Structure 1
Amino acid sequence: MSVLFYVLLFIILSVIVVDLILWQAWRAKPINAEPYTGELPFISILLAVRNEVHFVNYTLNSLEALDYPKDKYEVLMGDDESDDGSSKIMKAWDKETNNFFYIPIDMKKDNLDAKANVLAQLADKAKGEFLMMTDADAEVAPTWIMKNLACWKPGLGIQSGFTLVKVDSFFSSMQMVDWGLALGMVKIVTGWKIPVTAVGNNMMVSKEAYQKVGGYRAIPFSTTEDFALFQAIVRKGYSFQQLANEESLVYTQAIKGFWNLLEQRKRWMRGAMELPAFMKTLLLIQALYFPAMLIMIFVNPLVAIPLFGLKITLQSLFIDKILDRLNQYLPLGHLFIFEFYSGFLSVALMIYYLLPLPVKWKGRKYTKG
């Protein structure tokens, strides 16, 4: 056997072993938290909006429908230099509701930029004991606040939940599986007390922890500001937690168009460069898996084909467990096809990431961070 064969086999088997560990590590049932029974704290929900005129109403409607007393939470809305009419929608909500507030944003304040700048200024106005964050293209579950409170533990500084893509097409179903798989991995590793990340469109932070780290003003600029805040809070000694239940679930809109998807993932990869070394190694091996499998099919198809079948089986079983926990369903065929989608995306993203192009997101270009 050639050296190439053994290198390929190592990469493929490493990924299969990881999938086996993940499948076995996922709990059959979530840990049931007792309903929150204490005095209800005041909650501040921060919403940075940039060019979401088609979706922001859905987000605001879901926040208005929360099963939490209206006098116990506020929604602070900030405009991140939108040019599509989003600000008019937010101003209307401010005028027509008692606990939704449109906050004017100074776009040149304290050397902050983009979304982090908006969130920092909203946090300055926040009256809540907890800060909760979501995106202007997302919809939260009615039980979002109450479930997060029920699961909150002493010593926590930051808590994050699952976000899934709303399915309205085959392309969006692939994105939904991708989000579920990625957050399933985060859930397991977080359960091992290894800090990975938090999801910025489904995140709860104690005001104390936010202030202790100095908020976004004290954090170096990053295109993944949620990850940067998570890191800062963990470094301060606060504990962290990832939820996996339907009651704290958030739905986000699917990315339209493959090139836009590559832009999103390139931005995420910038943030992933700050992960612990072992996580970066794991992600690299995962990225190399599909190219390695393609080459192995030509080098030794008798070895490649059974291993490919095993990989698809283990990954599908893991994803099925995740979706079952969240009370979601996709046809089995979609889980099988996802392997090919994921492989193609990995190869395309590796090429796109290496191109000397700035990160672009919602009309902005980022040359660093």
Structure 2
Amino acid sequence: MMTVFLSVVFWVCVLGVITPYVVYPASLFLLSRLRQPHEPGSATPRASVVISAYNEAAVIREKLENACALDYPSELLEVIVISDESDDGTDEIVREFAGRSVKLFRQVPREGKSAALTKFVPRCNGDVIVFSDANSVYQPDAVAKLVRHFSDPKVGYVVGHQRYHQGDGAASKSESAYWDFEIRLKCWESRLSSVVGGDGAIMAMRRELFSPLQKDDINDFLIPLRIVVAGYRGLFDPEAVCYEEAAPSFGGEFKRKVRIVNRSFRALTRAPGAMNPLKVGVFAWQLICHKVVRWLAPVFLIGCLATSTALAASGSTFFQLTLVVQIAFYLLAVARLIPKVGEFKLIYLCYFFCLSNVAAGLGIINIFLGRKFSTWTPQRTEISKS
């Protein structure tokens, strides 16, 4: 009886591991073929580009030059920088652009991005809010591509296509490979229903749909959930493009993922209707498979290892083989720590997968420990200080 129980647990855990990477993508692709792509429209509403910044002196000038050069009617566009008590000269640089429709809103004391958006988004003049990061460089037509979809009154938010300048390091290549996979999912989700989550680097929403955020809310995930629950649709536009540098190190990416999973799980409790299929339809399935099951992968991986170990010890040849395969996989990941050997693609991708799941596990553990994240220092700021 125990053998049967452990076997069932093993296969449930296997399903949990492969669902977000195999089962869900395959099912999503097939279902998305049943719907026609959304027609973009030609709306040109008043738009406010909102740039959140904390100590971004190294990149803010380039960002503002880029924003001021966007191919969008100047009388319909304003650029707003929300400085979260920056103290590195960011604000002084922003003030140099005061004559070019650039406004500076400064938050004191420092409370994080979500608190800043809650304070200052109501002061924006645009009918559409375009959220951006200080290091995100937009293609000239990016804003026009985003906002055109609001011709459809049922569209509540639109997510753009963030692309990474791929560096030479393993961390950069791993993140780029993962992101290519994510982009495919976004395209299929958008076609079927709504894209799951947003992107703080490039996302637009109707201003009237913005609602106050708590300090520790993850704005670019919670905002889209609330909009879908309110009955609107969220789209992904692959033609609305911005560029960022990929993660400079595995360490920085690890800390970022711990924060994201921690805050995203909390967001689910702030918009529980997003997981109710009676309220949001197929989007609930997308959210659970794409995000929730993936965040729980550390639990499933531990379950696979524990059950296969117990069943292998009982003499099962099949489970002895599965145990060997798992151990070999983790050894490949550990091999990333060996100089030169760790630069092989298979090895650093295994390492990235394991690192991401350890980060997800820590993010969940921090929830039970009561730890919240509302502010952080951008990796580029940390690097400049080191």
Per the shorter chain, which TM-score range? Answer: 0.7 to 0.9
Specify whether residues 345 and 230 from structure 1 end up closer, same or farther in structure 2 by C-alpha distance, changes over 3 A only. Answer: closer
Q: Which segments of 5 or more consecutive residues in structure 1 lack a partner in the other structure? A: 310-332, 365-369
- 2: CA distance, partners of 1:334 / 1:191: 32
Specify whether residues 7 and 257 from structure 1 end up closer, same or farther in structure 2 by C-alpha distance, changes over 3 A only. Answer: same
Q: Of 245, 256, 259, which aligns to 1:253?
A: 245
Give the secondary-structure state (helix, strand or coil) at the position aligned to 1:128.
Answer: coil
Q: Report what 2:161 is aligned to.
A: 162
Q: Report what 1:135 is aligned to.
A: 133
Is 1:66 the counterpart of 2:70 in the alignment? yes
- 1: CA distance, partners of 2:127 / 2:12: 49
Q: Report what 1:227 is aligned to.
A: 221
> Equivalences for 1:275-354 in 2 at 5 Å?
275=268, 279=288, 281-292=292-303, 299=312, 300=319, 302-303=321-322, 334=345, 337-351=348-362, 353-354=364-365
> Over the residues paired in the alignment, what is the CA RMSD in angstroms?
3.6
1:63·1:140 contact (CA, 8 Å) conserved in 2?
yes
Between Structure 1 and Structure 2, the one with more helix by share is 2
2:82·2:107 contact (CA, 8 Å) conserved in 1?
no
**Structure 1 residues 269-323: Cα deviation after superposition (integer angstroms, max 9, x where no partner):** 13322335562652344334544565677642545788999xxxxxxxxxxxxxx
> Equivalences for 1:1-369 in 2 at 5 Å?
3-18=5-20, 19-23=22-26, 25-26=28-29, 31=37, 33=39, 36=42, 40-95=44-99, 98-101=100-103, 103-107=104-108, 113-152=111-150, 153-168=152-167, 169-182=169-182, 184-185=184-185, 187-189=187-189, 191-193=191-193, 196-210=196-210, 215-216=211-212, 219-235=213-229, 237-245=230-238, 247-273=239-265, 274-275=267-268, 279=288, 281-292=292-303, 299=312, 300=319, 302-303=321-322, 334=345, 337-351=348-362, 353-354=364-365, 356=369, 359=373, 361-363=375-377
**Structure 1 residues 234-279: Cα deviation after superposition (integer angstroms, max 9, x where no partner):** 34x241223141x212333334444432332222113322335562
Q: Cα offset for 1:151?
A: 2.9
- 1: CA distance, partners of 2:346 / 2:188: 20
Specify whether residues 105 and 30 from structure 1 end up closer, same or farther in structure 2 by C-alpha distance, changes over 3 A only. Answer: farther
1:77·1:122 contact (CA, 8 Å) conserved in 2?
no
Q: Report what 1:328 is aligned to.
A: none
Give the secondary-structure state (helix, strand or coil) at the position aligned to 1:243.
Answer: strand
Specify whether residues 149 and 30 from structure 1 end up closer, same or farther in structure 2 by C-alpha distance, changes over 3 A only. Answer: farther
Amino acid paired to 2:220? D
Q: Which segments of 5 or more consecutive residues in structure 2 lack a partner in the other structure? A: 269-273, 276-284, 313-318, 329-343, 379-386
How many matched pairs?
325
1:191·1:241 contact (CA, 8 Å) conserved in 2?
no
Q: Which has the larger radius of gyration?
A: 2
1:224·1:267 contact (CA, 8 Å) conserved in 2?
no
- 2: CA distance, partners of 1:305 / 1:154: 55
Q: Cα offset for 1:133?
A: 0.8
Specify whether residues 304 and 265 from structure 1 end up closer, same or farther in structure 2 by C-alpha distance, changes over 3 A only. Answer: same
Amino acid paired to 1:252? E
2:216·2:373 contact (CA, 8 Å) conserved in 1?
no
- 2: CA distance, partners of 1:11 / 1:192: 27
2:158·2:237 contact (CA, 8 Å) conserved in 1?
no
2:111·2:375 contact (CA, 8 Å) conserved in 1?
no
- 2: CA distance, partners of 1:347 / 1:34: 39
Specify whether residues 288 and 171 from structure 1 end up closer, same or farther in structure 2 by C-alpha distance, changes over 3 A only. Answer: same
Amino acid paired to 2:13? I
2:13·2:301 contact (CA, 8 Å) conserved in 1?
no
Give the secondary-structure state (helix, strand or coil) at the position aligned to 2:78.
Answer: strand
- 1: CA distance, partners of 2:23 / 2:227: 32
Q: Cα offset for 1:142?
A: 1.9
Q: TM-score, normalised by structure 1?
A: 0.73
Specify whether residues 281 and 71 from structure 1 end up closer, same or farther in structure 2 by C-alpha distance, changes over 3 A only. Answer: closer
**Structure 1 residues 140-197: Cα deviation after superposition (integer angstroms, max 9, x where no partner):** 2222112113333222222222324332132122122334434544554455436742
Amino acid paired to 1:25? L
Q: Cα offset for 1:49?
A: 1.0
Percent identity (aligned): 17
